[in-house]
Structure 1
Amino acid sequence: MTDDTISGARIHALLADGTTICIRPAEPGDHERLRGFYGEMSPENLRLRFFAVSPSSAALAAERACAPACPGHRALLAEAKGRVLGLAEYDTGGEKDAAEVAVAVAEGLHHRGVGTLLVEHLVSAARAEGITTFKADALSENLDVLRLFTDLGLRTRRHFEGPDVRCTIALDEDDAYLSAVEERGRTADVASLEPLLRPNTIAVIGAGRRPGSVGRAILHHLHAGGFTRRLFAVNPNAGSILGVPCHPAVAALPRVPDLAVVAVPAAAVPATAEECGKAGVRALVVVTAGLDRAQAQNLMTACRTYGMRLVGPNCLGISNTDPDLRMDATFAADHPLPGTAGVAVQSGGVGIALLDGLSRLGIGVSSFASLGDKYDVSGNDMLQWWESDGRTDLALLHLESFGNPRAFSRTARRVTRRIPVLTVDAGRTEVGRRAAASHTAAAATPTMTRQALFTQAGITATRSVGELLETAVLMHSQPLPVGARVAIVANAGGVGVLAADACVEAGLALPPLPPDLIDDLLDVLPDGATVGNPVDTTAAVSQDQLRDCLDRLLESQDLDAMVVALVPTAVAAATGEDLTRALTSDPAHRTRPVVAVRIEQDLPVKLLPATADRTIPSYADPQAAARALTHAARRAAWLSRPVGAVPPLSGIDTLHAHEIADAYLTQHPDGGWLDPHACTDLLACYGIPQLPWTWAETEDDAVIAAERLRGPDGRIVMKAHWPGLLHKSEQHAVHLDLQGESQVRAAFRDFETRFAGLMTGVVVQPLAARGTELFAGVVQDEVFGPLVLFGLGGTATELLADHAARLAPLTDQDVHDLITAPRCAPLLFGAHGAGPVDLEALEQLLLRVSRMASDLPQLAEADFNPVLAAPGGVTVLDARVRLLPRRPQDPYLRRLH
């Protein structure tokens, strides 16, 4: 079955206005509540639902919804604070792949997204049962339900029969549907964050009278920072604190706060959250650390029960520098400078460093969230807020975990098209590499998985907080380069060489300058200047000469960016020249990025003021400048690419694939490796090409198989098999180049002798034609989902580790990246005079492997090695698939975690 709505668990999700509801299966005990739900409906709504005002129809509907769960029928309730808000159900009526669907919404709650949210959850449940079509009857005047089905994002057909309309809805999970769900989720998410990040009233609970407490520090920040709206403190032992009115309890406040900042001991947090929820508070920031499991659970129960969004616990707080609000609900040492960078972190220490750095650099902060233990509000939420707030043009993240990486990836792909999103790739050296169960699992590291996520989403991943700020400075102040071609200008040869080394090592190119440009530069530079790349202006260069030099270089169509490395000299000091003015004067006409390197400056990076709204980044280390330019060039390249799409595939039999997986796991409840027959059947469901083979359990069967499969050259391959055999080559369980009956028999006897008691049979195949041996595989990560790996194959695949990885489902752009990323890629495109392999067939193989992994969460691991690629096609020579008993989870289903 699919997600928690089918298992009986409760799921919380957001309506269009940001309020929280609970979705769960209807139960026999809900019968009276559902009769009351229908009883509250107006006669008109009853008529639209049942085509007549019939109390008996309502009673039968309530009885049907509360019947014990059975295959082919699902009924889901939406409720909040004990009230039924809506009901949606489907029933196959015995059909295999189609179901009748119906939906009803409580009186007065239309147009808030209750019905749409319920139907989305029904769609997810139906797909898991193999249902491909919903059918629904409605009166033609029931515009609400007709609009609901039309606006889902699924392909819908209408057939009018008098006053009735027959709707047929195809449940394909295409990008149009996911985009529609995503947009509805974004609207709801942003609305739910309004009381958190734009509150009209704040209460600080736990602010003490004595200096030194966290609550008092937050209250001081809010008061001293000039919070423009209503502010209260909650403390039973004080009338006012720091001039802020104080009340003994949340219920005693003169106005219900939108946001409560909780800074009480851990043991008091659940009761405080419950008090806030009962009073009508809509958002919490819990800075308290050290909650145990029970306290954490009770905190979340209160938040979900009363529909409160939560930041924390164990966090630094939140901030919104909007001049109309001026909310600094943190206990950082200083107020952040108002600006345009959105910041979300899990580590409070990293948050303080970023706030200080962005303020010092003059970029400033639009809004800040220290997510702490991240029970609720996540990086995904903050990205959607920044996308919509109208103030943020740069997003900085420091996340130690991802709650729903695939949903985060879809959000980030959209947001990064509008603003740069930067992160620190934390935990690169984590000793979390899983023990190698096969080549594929051994190749998949946590670092590779995270990097795949960042690359596909267009996120700029840096290696440290310092590098994050260095890159943010460049993206904030300069246009993106259209390519990676850099010119270096220096007033001293040594620093120019250092800058050149740094650029090349970072992956930038230093092309030779065209002859006509060289002549122009020699005309404006002092005698003795060397005009190559780098350009050595000599220490005698003047401000005007340097400016003319830079302008000519920036006008060249052969260059994409400029690095200007300057050192203070006695010559410049004696003449009163300030060479940095050549950089900062009149930069408005420059359409290419310019960065300075000044190794004597006291800070790693600064912004040099140029005009009222333009600045030039200046770095103390040429490597920092080169890294930042490389990140900017990669972002420009990502933006220039077309938006990828998951191509449709023909010949897919998902239903049979699920049957194969279910049958295996029924016989092997703990999971394991598929036998060759089941593995071949599974690959056939996805049209993955395989070399012909025959199973043999006796010597005579092997001879017969060899005769039947023998190719034109007469050579045969024999592979031993037993459950759990992974590394055939290491076990010497493969015989190649077998010719004639005697060699086939000898090979079988050798296996029988060496693997007595283990071997259950052999696989006999014709010897494959020549080609390039590749590797393709899948690892199902429990957090990130399926990861598809590709690279050089054969026996050296682990030794050379020439692999690339992308998260499924793969788009056409992802497949292109997979094929071109490994070091072996030139072999595929015809290096050394050889013809290119069948690239279209290779793309199809990877897309089909991705589809198989996306369809089957039970597929823990798949290993195709070698995959033989040749000009005439692509064939899997050896395949292994491991299944585990895992329940499907819809990563795009709207729900709060």
Structure 2
Amino acid sequence: MDVRYPTHWEADVVLADGGTAHVRPIRPEDADRLRAFYSRLSPESIYFRFFGPHPRLSDREVERFTNVDYVDRVALIATIGTEMVAVIRYDKTGPSEAEIAFLVEDAHQGRGIASVLLEHLAATARENGIATFIADVLPANQKMIAVLRQAGYTAQSSFTEGVVRMTLDLTPTETSLEVTVAREHRAEARSIERLLNPRSVAVVGASREPGGVGQTVLRNLLAADFSGPVYPVHREVRAVAGVRAYPSVTAIDGEVDLAVLAVPAEGVIDLVKECAEKGVRGLIVVSSGFGETGPEGRRRQDELVRIARAYGLRVVGPNCLGIANTDPAVRLNATLAATIPGRGRVGFFSQSGALGTALLHRVAQRGMGISSFVSAGNRADVSGNDLLQYWEEDRATEVILLYLESFGNPRKFARLARRISRRKPIVVVKTGGTTQGVPLGHAAPALGLPDTALTSLFEQAGVIRVDDLIQQFDLAQLLAHQPLPAGPRVGVVGNSDALALLAVDACVRAGLEPRPPVNLGAEAGPAEFGAALSECLAADEVDAVVVIYMPPIPGRREEVAAALVEAARGHMGVAKPVLATFEGRVGMLPELSVDGRDGTPGRGSIPSYAAPEEAVRALAHAVKYAAWRESPAAGEVLIGRGEGSEAARSLVRRTLGDGEGPVVVDAAELLALYGVEVWPVASAPSAEAAVEAADRFGWPVVLKAADPEAAKRAGTIRLGLAGPEALRQAYDDLSRVLGPQTELAVQRMAPQPAVPTVISVEDNPAVGPVVSFGLGEITARLLDDRAYRLAPLSAVDAATLVRSVRAAPLLFGEYGHPPVDVGALEELLVVVGRVADEIPQLHLLELDPVLVGEWGVAVLGARAVLREPQGPRPYGGPRRLGTVTPNL
């Protein structure tokens, strides 16, 4: 292998039709592969590429095309299986300019291969200092012209001597980024749609053994009355569960869309190739024996994913429960779970296979129903992010539930969730809060973030995080069947004083605003309940109602339920959610349900909870989520590249030079390019030097330890020094306290009063740059009272970040402190987020302290740690699936 070969350019990609391909740089050993590819091209494709007939490539051409330097001459190819199906290349023609050309095999045209190759070639070009692509295209080659124009880059075209010359500026634009995101979304959604909507299913390893894994999946498929043919595959038996069996996948006499693999792990790899030969489009690997077993199993798991993607297949698993789709047109239960809930509005993703069975059973017990279900197991390929892309467009899914044990790409998750949460609520249970570890076998990195930071990042994206599965189901039944509350004001209607008081107390604890409860008495019947609920819903000061029906002896259950449903449906004002504690029963009770599609509980059905506290807890989450959705620009990050951006990147490159870092620097010059002034500080090796510096800065001044870490300790700073004598005395005093070896520094004194705060950015390898904020008081530091957001920040992100710390009231005029200029602080946070987003070499940035007063903000200290990125950021650049161990 050529030592210059850029391994990091390799990527698995999802194509427009949901299939996959592998993108990599061309190599000299691809000569025969290139000849075979060229032999399959149509005369028209060859004519468009070479502007004339060119029936074969000469040996000289093959050598030139396959031998590149990966700098001035670069070629990327797309492969499916072992075959090359497309190639794109550039040849440098000027200092920052290159000419490009590409070819896609006719059988694979229209699958989006050219677009994704152009994204990757543009990224490699920028890496090599190339800013412009030039392409000469025949006017009749409309497909190539469309690919270039639709990429979103700034493009110009001219027509000379029968050729269209297109010039592309490779600087990323808002349009090019939007195009990339939209294409990624469509492709990944399509890849999941192909899995959940198969026309036929093969179960490989379906034996006659009672209780066997393969037979269990087969019987569940048949019991669900799957809409297409089901093919058992077993090398020795002729039939399984009364269904004709086949000795191999390739022996099946019909097409196969989806294959469930239930064979020993050692045999899975060979089956992947067999399935690819048959034209299978997706795999569910329920077999264990992969990453969860140790290093050897992990290597086997990586090989499984690498080969499957290479042949165009997506993989659910391994070591998973399977997938289900309750659509009446599909009726798919390709899982090990015999109990699948009925049709519903909830999409459910679980990484745990063992837990998935219990979860599905509980959902069915509640009468909720699901739209679709995926258990990802070791999550080697298909992940929660893929399902988010699918459920965003799936009309049958109105609420998304995620049970997560690990993250494959948290930054991408946050981006997707921020967009999707504006339309559909996402409710997450995330385990590992105490350890942030990753379960054995999961193809995912450890986050390395405190659990409070993860919660903050969820809040930024509008994701509702709950503590456990019971809370998740409690909230899901509310969100799936009732409208969102317009505010926190809660009415309580019931026939029990004790339970009503519990509901009121729970509202207060949850930050809601309960109205005085309406007690109807133990003997209240349907008329009283219906009238009270109607009156409560009609009140302007009520945003939601909790109804409590707990008769001391069995009462008129059906009639009371009908009265409640009628009152909720008959309210003509603004839609308001109604929740119930109905005889302590849990779920979507038949008597409280409105018939929906497919006979399942429809919109307007009233969810019931075991106790009023549980109903209030679910309502509190819904109130907070509704407020996030209504906040301005809740789902938008405001990104704009200022004049200082390029200068800042140049400064960082000069600072690092030829080294990789890390390099610790004063961040004042970098921040100045973004319009942020860091107050100058002067070293004071003597008292007289301190006085000279004070004369330059202007009095009064501050004397402190020059080491930023030492300056954080109590007793290491002297404030408000208004003249030379006071400064000299303070110098002698501080030298005695710290010792003569400690270097001291002088800085101008900021106006008082002011609140010290700390702003920092750390580039996390899993999620990218994370902005944190907290107060600089010693108590706040000791309690680690900080809040977090992913960079870049919108104005709303900055505002919520400031208000998320427990000590935030000190900024708003409480506890005897005067209110300070919070607006200036929020503007600074937005700028810091921009710096973090635009400078990939910024490993750490710390602004400490940042004084916030009535007069604005003063950044008194700033330092940065620079180093070259350790690989690509978790999200950014061309589309790619999560990586597995490269096979070189």
TM-score bracket, normalised by the shorter chain, equals: 0.7 to 0.9
Task: Say if 2:701 is the partner of 1:715.
Answer: yes
In 1, are the aligned partners of 2:350 and 2:402 still within 8 Å (CA)? yes
Aligned partner of 2:605 in structure 1 is: 615
- Please say which of residues 26-35 and 771-780 is displaced more in the overlay: 26-35
Structure 1, residues 320-349: CA drift from partner, whole Å, max 9, x if none? 222222221111132332333211101124
Residue 891, structure 1, aligned to residue 872, structure 2 = no
Q: Paired residue for 1:846?
A: 829
2:580 is matched with 596
**What SS is found at the alignment partner of 2:109?**
coil
Asked if the contact 1:657–1:685 (Cα under 8 Å) also holds between the matched residues in 2, the reply is no
Equivalent runs, 1:697-776 vs 2, <5 Å:
704-709=692-697, 711=698, 713-721=699-707, 726-730=709-713, 734-738=717-721, 763-770=745-752, 771-776=754-759
Q: Within 2, Cα distance between the matches of 1:342 and 1:768?
A: 54
Unaligned runs of 5+ in 2: 291-296, 439-446, 597-603, 883-888
Q: Deviation string for 1:261-303 (max 9, x for gaps)?
A: 1112222222333333343322211111222123213212321
Q: Is the 8 A contact 1:647 1:812 kept in 2?
A: no
Q: What does residue 638 of structure 2 align with?
A: 646
User: TM-score normalised to the size of structure 1?
Assistant: 0.86
Structure 1 residues 104 and 254, CA, compared in 2 at 3 Å: closer, same or farther? closer
Note closer, same or farther for the CA distance 1:597–1:149 as it changes in structure 2 (3 Å cut): same
* Structure-2 separation of matches of 1:340 and 1:577: 25
Specify whether residues 800 and 194 from structure 1 end up closer, same or farther in structure 2 by C-alpha distance, changes over 3 A only: closer
Cα 1:432–1:84, aligned 2, differ >3 Å: closer, same or farther?
A: closer
> Does residue 224 in structure 1 map to residue 223 in structure 2?
yes
What is aligned with 2:669? 681
> What is the deviation of 1:634?
2.2
> Which residue does the alignment assign to 1:585?
566
Q: Does 1:556 align with 2:539?
A: yes
The separation in 1 between residues aligned to 2:650 and 2:82, in whole angstroms, is 38
Q: Which moved more, 1:777-786 or 1:840-849?
A: 840-849
Instruction: Report SS of the residue matched to 2:372.
Output: strand
Question: Letter of the aligned partner of 1:583 in structure 2?
Answer: L
When the two structures are superposed, what TM-score results if normalisation uses the length of structure 2? 0.87
Distance change in 2, residues 1:703/1:24 (3 Å) = farther
Local SS of the residue matching 2:405? coil
Q: Structure 1 649/180 Cα, relative in aligned 2: closer, same or farther at 3 Å?
A: closer
Instruction: Flag the 1:234–1:751 CA change in 2: closer, same or farther, 3 A.
Output: farther
> Structure 2 CA distance, aligned partners of 1:841 and 1:60?
64
Residue 500 of structure 2 is matched in structure 1 by: 496
Alignment of 1:210-249 (within 5 A): 210-249=209-248
Aligned partner of residue 619 in structure 1, secondary structure: coil
Q: Structure 1 residues 103, 420: closer, same or farther in 2, change over 3 A? A: same
1:468-617 pair list within 5 angstroms:
468-511=472-515, 533-569=516-552, 573=555, 579-590=560-571, 591-598=575-582, 600-603=583-586, 606=589, 608-613=591-596, 614-617=604-607
Query: What amino acid sits opposite 1:468 in the alignment?
Result: Q
1:402 aligned residue: 407
**Take 2:642 and 2:616, find their aligned partners in 1: how far apart are those partners?**
46
Q: Give the C-alpha shift of residue 693 in structure 1.
A: 2.5
SS in 2 for 1:344: strand
Distance 1:498 1:69 in 2: 73
> Where does the alignment leave 5 or more consecutive residues of structure 1 unmatched?
434-442, 512-532
Pairwise CA distance, 1:44: 4.8
Aligned with residue 362 of structure 1, among 356, 363, 367:
367
Give, as a single letter, the amino acid of the residue that structure 1 aligns with 2:705.
Answer: K
- 2:444 alignment partner in structure 1: none
Rounded to whole Å, the distance in 2 between the matches of 1:742 and 1:666 is 48
Aligned residues: 850
Question: Judging changes above 3 Å, is the alpha-carbon distance between structure 1 residues 197 and 608 closer, same or farther for their aligned structure 2 residues?
Answer: same
Kindly indicate whether residue 339 of structure 2 is the aligned counterpart of residue 334 of structure 1: yes
1:281 aligned counterpart, secondary structure: coil
1:810 alignment partner in structure 2: 793
* 1:239-277 CA distance string (max 9 Å, x none): 111112122222332235222211122222223333333
Per-residue deviation at 1:699?
7.2
Measure how far apart 1:99 and its partner are: 4.8
Distance in 1 between residues matched to 2:648 and 2:67, nearest whole Å: 30
Of 314, 321, 336, the match for 1:309: 314
CA deviations over 1:442-468 (Å, ceiling 9, x no partner): x99432332233223322221111011
Residues 541-579 of structure 1: CA deviation (Å, up to 9, x unaligned): 343123212111111222110111232135x85x99954
Answer whether contact 2:322 2:375 (CA < 8 A) is retained: yes
2:204 corresponds to which residue? 205
Counterpart residue type for residue 872 of structure 2: P
Q: Is the 8 A contact 2:35 2:62 kept in 1?
A: yes
1:878 aligns with 2:864: no
Matches within 5 A, 1:445-460: 445-460=449-464
Computed over aligned residues only, the root mean square deviation of the Cα atoms, in angstroms, reads 3.5
Is the deviation greater in 70-79 or in 618-627?
A: 70-79
* Offset, 1:727: 4.8
Counterpart check, 1:352 vs 2:357: yes
Shift of 1:882: 2.9
Q: Distance in 1 between matches of 2:71 and 2:777?
A: 45
CA contact (8 A) 2:474 2:615 kept: yes
**Does the aligned pair in 2 maintain the 1:774–1:865 contact within 8 Å?**
yes
Structure 1 position 837, deviation (Å): 4.2
- 8 Å Cα contact 2:639/2:834 also seen in 1: no
SS at match of 2:250: helix
The correspondence of residues 59-138 of structure 1 with structure 2, limited to 5 A, is 66-69=66-69, 71=71, 74-90=74-90, 93-95=93-95, 99-129=98-128, 132-138=131-137
- Judged with a 3 Å threshold, the aligned counterparts in structure 2 of structure 1 residues 133 and 503 are, in CA distance, closer, same or farther, namely farther
Cα distance, 1:485 vs structure 2: 0.9
Q: Which amino acid aligns with 2:842?
A: L
Q: Aligned-pair distance for 1:580?
A: 3.8
2:328 paired residue among 323, 327, 337? 323
Inter-CA distance 42–696: structure 2 relative to 1 (3 Å threshold): farther
- Report the CA distance between 1:173 and its aligned residue: 4.0
Which aligned pairs between 1:819-838 and structure 2 lie closer than 5 A?
A: 819-829=802-812, 837-838=820-821
The letter of the residue matching 1:467 is Q
Counterpart code for 1:76: L
Structure 1 distance, partners of 2:340, 2:746, is 72
Q: Is the 8 A contact 2:21 2:311 kept in 1?
A: no
Percent of residue pairs bearing the same amino acid type? 36
- Which residue, 358, 372, 380 being the options, matches 2:385? 380
Q: Does the Cα contact within 8 Å between 2:523 and 2:551 map onto a contact in 1?
A: no
Please state how far the C-alpha of 1:633 moved relative to its aligned partner: 1.6
Q: Is the 8 A contact 1:311 1:375 kept in 2?
A: yes
CA deviation after TM superposition for structure 1 residue 740, in Å:
5.5
Q: Give the counterpart letter for 1:154 in structure 2.
A: Y
Q: Distance in 1 between matches of 2:65 and 2:558?
A: 84
Is the alpha carbon distance of 1:129 and 1:621 closer, same or farther for their aligned partners in structure 2, counting shifts above 3 Å? farther
SS of 2:245's partner is strand
Q: Secondary structure at the match of 2:706?
A: strand
Q: Residue type matched to 2:452 in 1? A: M
**Given the superposition, is the C-alpha separation of residues 240 and 293 from structure 1 closer, same or farther in structure 2, using an over 3 Å criterion?**
same
Q: Secondary structure at the match of 1:587?
A: helix
Describe the superposition over 1:408-460 as per-residue Cα deviations: whole angstroms up to 9, x where unpaired. Answer: 22322333333322221322233669xxxxxxxxx994323322332233222
